[in-house]
Chains A and B, each alone.
Chain A
Amino acid sequence: MKKNKRSLLAVPYVVWMALFVVAPIIMVVVYAFSTASGGFTLDNFTRMGTYTVIFTRSFKLALIATAVCLLIGYPLSYIMAREGPRFQRVGMMLIMLPMWVNFLLRTYSWMSILEKNGLINQFFSAIGLFDLINAVFGTNIEYFHMIGTQGAVVLGMVYNYLPFMILPIYSVIVKLDNSLLEAARDLGANSTAVFRKVIFPLSLPGILSGVTMVFVPSVSTFAISRLLGGGTQMLLGDLIEQQFLGGAYNPHLGSAIALVMMLIVIVCMWVMNHFGEGEEQAVML
């Protein structure tokens, strides 16, 4: 069969995409611009000013989580890549393994750790830490307030999405051409210079794809904020979920929020990829 005929193989999937990728997004757009009775409206967008707080909170927390993931994930990938092959294999396996335990379960486990009567507080009071603090500072603390705070939400994001940061960075670093590093050293670069001028720029594609894979789910999560934020740290995901299946039914407003969130994320990605000179090597897993 000729090549151009072979391209017909993609036709069923193109139809599928039209039905289940493009059409749903058109539905979101239609809902976002209409009222319950079906008329055209821009109300859903003008009302969004009220939710600026949630937008900023979501982006702030997601950015912090992404930064923390990068700060932990990059060094870890780097260190990991210097280990022997056997160690590397086991190490990567250990990093992927938690992803197979459902993320809700892992997040739920953090709940019991961070609760007021949770393990951390029980441990601290058992070793007399609170008595010590109270004696030294004259305060009257009985426990650390952790659950229901923004810190807990960020912790949940970092915990859940850290492997998404490590995997792409690691797979880029591990493939770095050794002769490049040797060449740099031979040309007189010290190890900081080698890292700054060679390793880091070459691992940028991994970083970019890691950042994307952590940022997008963080900014749109609703389960993590619900479990660890106790419903008081509402994020964009919660806001959208509330309008569809939660306690404030309004799919039109929900669609508008989803649409705006999608656009902001796309713009962010575009800017970032531009900044990374459009590296197409988004390495997945």
Chain B
Amino acid sequence: MKKLVALTLAGSLALGLFLTGCSVEQVSSEPNETVSSSESGADTGDRVLNVCNWGEYIDESLITQFEEETGIKVNYQTAESNEALYSLLKSGGANYDVICPSDYMISQLIEEDMLQPLDYSKIPNFEKIDTRFKNLSYDPENLYTVPYTWGTLGIIYNTTMVDEPITSWSAMFDEQYAGDVLLINNSRDALGMALYYLGYSVNTTDEAQIREAFQLLSDAVSKGVYQGKVMDEVFQKMEQGNAAIATYYAGDYLTMLENNPDLAYVVPEEGSNWFVDAMCILKDAQNVDEAHEWINFLASTEANLANMDYIWYASPNAEALEQYPAYYEETYGEPLDMELYEIMAAPQEVLDRCEAYLVLPEATRTLYNDLWIELGL
């Protein structure tokens, strides 16, 4: 009897856990014709959407606005870096519909058949995207992506803590600032800045060059140059003056500047990375319609303006990009400092110095991973 109790308990638990999602639907009397409403998410109940974005990367009121307008409940998650997002997707721990990776990661995901082509008829706002940001190398026929933001990678530094303005990547390896420098916590950007400094291409597949870049970083680590490896922890560290120099993204610099006017930003003379982060839908997404609605919503000019104002990353939406200075003046009653605008939306001469990351072949990716781990030794 007790055995029965325990077994029923275990059994019902297992059943409960595994079969809750089982749906029985009537298919009609003729077996080959389906009455079911939509292919995905056949449940008629709440519409949901699982989104994964970067931290500090959206004006959160937009999420609420979207939910109110569409009745879709947004499950908004954040990931730390492209590499961490990839791990999450690969390890099966994630259950996202829409993600927003950067260019090179998008190529990799396309290559590994992890994305699904978008239905652009459901995304009318795609037309407003500046042609500069369409058909880029990561998605040459533009089948999978709608750009979300773009910007540059550069050095953020605290003018009160360094002796002279920084112009070169050399500051990131300089013993003079030992203990005050923050290393960016992802392999691509960290090795990238070393490659720029050495004058190599960031997309090199030459193992010797990559190892040389690694050696540069590793020497700096052993000299104690870096206080830590950070991603979004950088906000706290730089704003409160706990570190002097960091590599991070232009948009985030502008956010930090609001809280600490002593900060400065530079795209080093050796050149740097310019990136596009774009929204895409995962192959095994369960809420495809909702995902399209979300992407279309975020591609609108209003959403782009709100986002630009909040996260300070440049928008790929041509209208929004053009209207932003006026929008700023209207909202805050003072003109936008054009210098700031140019940091956000880098002018062509800066972009000319910059290079976009391309997806690396698998062998090189493995090398990056191994070296990255080794750097933590």
Q: Consider the complex of A and B and state whether they touch directly, i.e. have CB atoms less than 8 Å apart.
A: yes
Interface positions of A (Cβ within 8 A of B): 8-9, 11-12, 15-16, 50-51, 53-54, 115-118, 145, 147-148, 229-232, 234, 238-239, 242, 244-251
Give the nearest-CB partner of A225 in chain B.
B376
CB contact under 8 A between A246 and B229, given known A9-B3, A15-B10, A115-B240? no
Interface set of B (CB-CB < 8 Å, partner A): 2-3, 6-7, 9-10, 80-81, 83-84, 86-88, 90-91, 93, 179-180, 185-187, 221, 226-230, 240-243, 369-370, 372-374, 376-377
The residue in B2, B93, B228 that gathers the most chain A C-beta atoms within 10 A of its C-beta is B228
Q: By the criterion CB–CB under 8 Å, are B376 and A238 in contact?
A: yes
Q: Is A239 a contact partner of B373 (Cβ separation < 8 A)? A: yes
Closest 8 CB pairs of A and B: A230-B228, A231-B229, A234-B376, A247-B83, A248-B369, A249-B87, A53-B377, A116-B242
- A248 and B377: CB pair below 8 A? no
Q: Residue A145 contacts which of B2, B6, B179 (CB distance < 8 angstroms)?
A: B179
CA distance A209 to B266 in the complex (A): 55
The answer to whether A54 and B87 have CB atoms under 8 Å apart is no
- B228 close to A232 (CB less than 8 A): yes
Residue of B nearest to A245 (CB): B87
Q: List 17 A-B contacts (CB under 8 A).
A: A11-B3, A12-B6, A12-B10, A16-B10, A118-B242, A148-B179, A229-B228, A230-B228, A230-B230, A231-B185, A232-B221, A234-B376, A238-B376, A247-B80, A247-B81, A247-B187, A248-B370
Chain B residue contacts of A248, Cβ below 8 A: 83, 87, 187, 369-370, 372-373
Which residues of A lie under 8 Å from residue B228 when comparing CB positions? 147-148, 229-232
CB contacts (< 8 Å) of B372 on chain A: these are 247-248
Q: Which residues of B contact A251 (CB under 8 A)?
A: 91
Q: Kindly list chain B residues whose C-beta atoms are within 8 Å of the C-beta of A230.
A: 227-230
- Complex CA–CA separation, A126 to B376 (angstroms): 35
**Residue numbers in A under 8 Å from B243 (CB-CB):** 116
CA–CA, A206 and B336, complex, Å: 67
User: Which residue from chain B places its CB closest to the CB of A5 in the assembled complex?
Assistant: B3
Closest CB-CB distance, B178 to chain A, in whole Å? Answer: 9
A54 to chain B: closest residue by CB:
B377
Report the separation of the CA atoms of residues A231 and B179 in the bound assembly, to the nearest whole angstrom. Answer: 13
Residues of A within 8 A of B369 (CB): 247-250
Most buried by B among A8, A51, A247: A247
